[in-house]
Amino acid sequence: MRFKRTLLVVGFGIGSWLELASFAGAEDLPSGPPDAVLDLRTADGARQAGAVWRYSDAQLREVDFRAPGPDHKPSGAPSRTHTLEPLAGPAEFDDSAWPVLEPNSLEDRRGTGKVSFAWYRLHVAIPERIGDFRTAGATVVFETVIDDYAEVWVNGALPFELDANGIGQSGGAVIAGWNEPNRRLVTASAARGERDVVAIFAANGPISDPPSNYIWVRRAVLAFYKAPRALTPKRVETKIERLDPALDRVLAKGASVEKIAEGFAFTEGPVWVPEGAGHLLFSDPNRNRIYRWDPEGGGSLGVFRGESGYQGPDVAEYGQPGSNGLALDPRDGSLTIDEHGNRRVARLAPDGTEVSLADRYRGARLNSPNDLVYRSDGTLYFTDPPFGLPKFYADPRRELPYTGVFKLDAHGLELVSQDLIGPNGIAFSPDEKFLYVTNWDTSKKVVMRYEVAADGSLAGDRVFFDMGGAPGEEALDGVKVDSLGNLYVSGPGGVWVISPEGKHIGQIVAPELPANFAWGDSDRKTLYMTARTGVYRIRLQVAGAGAVSGTVAKR
């Protein structure tokens, strides 16, 4: 299949060199050093990318318009204003008549000086490989610095980024200053034969103090970042703190963490699917995806579901628009998904049918469902902090005045707790008499325990374990419980193993701090851990609680 995308960058020209910063624009962009780079200002880099540069001056032209009317729109009396010509932003714009530029001529000064404007357009083809680096599935980012200003359009649309007050543009070099770098996503998963179009509009500045310099391209590269990949499971540095002999019953001497996959933005919400040989599903809410890892053949990885939590036009404003917690309905194996951006809990049936299970409570939209757990009778419990919203607690989209724990059963949706500011991880005791909820709140690092009544209501809430004295700024994230009643909690520094009596019996410290867990493999004695950029596992001597059965939904 051939793909075609258009990426439009608008830039202007003055000032001294600024190093290209590693920051994200409207898209969720990878940070850190890329795995491969093509410099499109060189003949070799342009050749490898099949790059063709074209150029045109741009001018302001006077056109008919209308004055503001009673509706504050241009519906009033006829007037005159200015527009830019040509308007080369649309993806379908025909630049075939523009002159072709040699890559090594991009430092030549163009425009007319003072207040002047220009367009560059660039056609590229993603190569199959760059040296030893294979580009298939890679994230590709276009990075540019234009002298003077820069503003980026992607796929024929100009992405807007609101400031902290939701009223301005926080990114883009017109706002940030001259010679500011721009980074824009070309593709999140490069495909062989994919072709893309980059259009750069340049303008001299500062506009209010017209300079005597001209427009030119300081930097233009394609940066390639490895796609997430499965690894042959390999042992990684592991620290086991044995604080009580009770840990020996859980974790054998010499047990070690293994890494099974890497290259993600932020992994979350894993669930083991027992269908067939079994496989692991997990979320990357930053990248808006659900991945599937299969253990057979040393491990394989694929995208189970794209746009897993949100498809709205303002998706660029969300840090974590995608899915978070995942769970299987014990009655039929349906995949249940906490969707951050959609602010709902959804059900994906085995036949691929998707329905919304909960998105409002008493008419108000939920915050952003985070984690979830089923009771064996099919009653669903989930936490609802605002962490999936762009501005968290201060987000103007919030409609509920609290962050709660909810119960969903045949009688409907019910708020069963609002004790915590950041209710996060959630899990049952083996006998389902108690429900544990962790709190993501650096000022109150606690695990709560609630008594669960036959009707599913909660009572007897109390602090089961307090990590307030633990060093570090991390709060509490995911939690799972084994068949003996021990808790495994993502807390400051690692995985805290806590006995059913509330005693800290040990700690597992892996290379990355886990966000959440799942019990996996046929005997459910493997603890899978989603931890920042990687996915890990460790074998235990005890099985996990809350076994499920059934199949899982199709994507």
Domain ranges of the chain: 4-225, 229-539
What is residue 168's predicted lDDT score, i.e. its pLDDT?
42
pLDDT of 4: 34
DSSP annotation of 48 reads H
Considering the four listed CATH numbers 3.30.420.40, 3.40.50.150, 2.120.10.30, 1.10.357.10, the one that applies to the domain covering 229-539 is 2.120.10.30
End-to-end, the C-alpha distance of the chain in Å comes to 20
Q: Which residues contact 269 (CB under 8 A, 6 or more apart)?
A: 282, 283, 285, 323, 324, 325, 326, 338, 371, 516, 530
- Rounded Cα distance between 555 and 547, Å, is 23
Structure tokens at 72: 């504050």
Tens place of pLDDT per residue across the chain (555 aa): 233 333 444 333 322 222 222 223 345 567 667 889 999 999 999 999 999 999 999 999 999 999 999 999 999 999 999 999 999 988 789 999 999 999 999 999 999 999 999 999 999 999 999 999 989 888 898 888 899 887 777 667 666 554 444 434 444 555 566 777 888 888 878 887 788 888 888 888 888 888 899 999 999 999 998 888 899 999 999 999 999 999 999 999 999 999 999 989 899 999 999 988 899 999 999 989 999 999 988 899 988 998 899 988 788 789 999 999 999 999 999 999 999 999 999 999 877 889 999 999 999 999 999 999 999 999 999 999 999 999 999 999 999 999 999 999 999 999 999 999 999 999 999 999 999 999 999 999 999 999 999 999 999 889 999 999 898 778 999 999 999 999 999 999 999 999 999 999 999 999 999 999 999 999 999 999 999 999 999 999 999 997 555 545 555
Question: Exposed, middle or buried, 421 (CB in 10 Å: 0-12/13-18/19+)?
Answer: middle
Give the strand pairing for 195-203 and 4-11: parallel
Q: Are 205 and 195 in contact, with CB atoms under 8 Å apart?
A: no
Q: What is residue 173's predicted lDDT score, i.e. its pLDDT?
A: 52
Task: Give the Å distances, CA to CA, from 148 to 168, 242, 351, 511.
Answer: 21, 59, 54, 43
Q: For residues 226 and 465, give the distance between their C-alpha atoms in angstroms, rounded to a whole number.
A: 40
Taking only Cα atoms into account, the Rg of the chain, rounded to an integer number of angstroms, comes to 27
- Asked if residues 335 and 347 have their Cβ atoms less than 8 Å apart, the reply is yes
Nearest CA to 477 out of 403, 526, 431, 427 is that of 427
pTM of the model: 0.73
Residue 535: the pLDDT is: 98
Task: State the pLDDT at residue 160.
Answer: 54
